[in-house]
Structure 1
Amino acid sequence: MGGGTPPQWLVDFLAAVGLDDIAAGVVAIVGGVVAVWLFTKRVWPVVRAIPAAVVTFARGVVTTAQVLESVKDLPAFIERTDARIGEIHHEVHFNNGSSVKDAAIRTERAVGELTATAQRLEEGVAGLYKRVDELAEVDDRLWATVDPEDEEADG
C-alpha cells in the first residue's frame, strides 16, 4: 500500500468495465437519488397521512353506529307520540260533552251566570242599604217629634 500501483482486483475490475457499464451505473445512482427524493416529497406525506385517515374513517364508522343505535327506537317513539297527540286532540276539540274543551265551555258559562247573579245581588244589597238609610232617617224624624216627658209617663 505504498503509493504506486493499485491493487490487482481494482485493475481487473476497471479492465472489465466498459463505458456503457459506467454510464449505466451513473444512471442507476442518479435514478436512485431521484427516486428517493420523489418518495420523500410525494409519497411519504401520503404514507404519513394514512394513519390519520384511518382514524378519521374509524371515527366516522363509530359515529354512524351511534346514529343507527339512537335511530332504532324511532318508529316506536313516533307511534307513542302519535297516540298521545290523538288523545290531546280528542280532549281539546268538541265531542258532544266529554272533552276538556266542552267542560271548559260549560265552566265559562256557569261562571258567567254566577257573575251576573252576584252583580244582581250586589245591586240588591246596595238598594237595601239605601232603603235602611232612608228608614233610619224617618225613624230619626219620628223620634224627634216624640216628647221625652211623654215617654217617661208611658214607661
Structure 2
Amino acid sequence: MPDLDWTWLAGINLLQVAIVIVAIWVIFRLLLRFWPTLKKTIALFDALGQLPAFITRTDESIIGIKKETTRNGGSTLKDAQVRTEEAVERIELGVKGLYDRADAADKEDKQLRYELEQTQSADRTTAQRK
C-alpha cells in the first residue's frame, strides 16, 4: 500500500475549511436552481446531435413517398389511383346508360298503357252502343 503524505493538511486552517464548505454549498444551490435550464440545454444539444440522422431518415421517407405518388407505368399508388378513377368513370357511364334505358322503358310503358286504356275505353264505348 502506498504511503500517503498527510503533511499538507497541517497548513489548512479553519477559515479555509469554512470557505470550501460554503463554496461547495453555493455550487450545490446553484446547480439545484439552474438544473431545469441545464437539463433543457443538454436536451437541446442532444437533439442537435441527432438532427443529421433525423434529416437523413426524413429525406429517405420523402423519396419513398415521392416514388409511390409519381406514375411509373403500373406499380405505384398513383398508377393504382388512376386505374381506379378510370374504372369508376366506366362504371358511371354504364350506370348512366342503364338509367337512360330504364327511363326510356318507363316512357314507352306509359305510352303503351295510355294506348291500351284508350283502346279499352273505345271497346267499352262500342260495346255499350250495341
Pairwise TM-score range, normalised by the shorter structure: 0.5 to 0.7
Matched, 1:120 2:78: no
TM-score by length of 2: 0.60
Question: Aligned-pair distance for 1:65?
Answer: 4.0
Instruction: State the partner residue of 1:98.
Output: 75
Q: Considering only aligned residues, what root-mean-square deviation do their CA atoms show, in Å?
A: 2.7
One-letter amino acid matched to 1:76: A
Instruction: State the partner residue of 2:46.
Output: 69
Structure 1: runs of 5 or more not aligned:
1-54, 151-155
One-letter amino acid matched to 2:107: K
Structure 2: runs of 5 or more not aligned:
1-29
For 1:101 and 1:84, locate their aligned partners in 2 and report how far apart those are by CA, in whole Å.
17
Alignment of 1:49-68 (within 5 A): 62=38, 65-68=42-45
Q: 1:109 aligns with which of 64, 76, 86?
A: 86
Question: Aligned-pair distance for 1:80?
Answer: 1.4
TM-score by length of 1: 0.51
Secondary structure, aligned partner of 1:97? coil
Aligned length in residues: 93
For 2:96 and 2:119, locate their aligned partners in 1 and report how far apart those are by CA, in whole Å.
35
For 1:66 and 1:119, locate their aligned partners in 2 and report how far apart those are by CA, in whole Å.
63
For 2:41 and 2:117, locate their aligned partners in 1 and report how far apart those are by CA, in whole Å.
97
Higher relative contact order (CA 8 A, sep 6+): 2
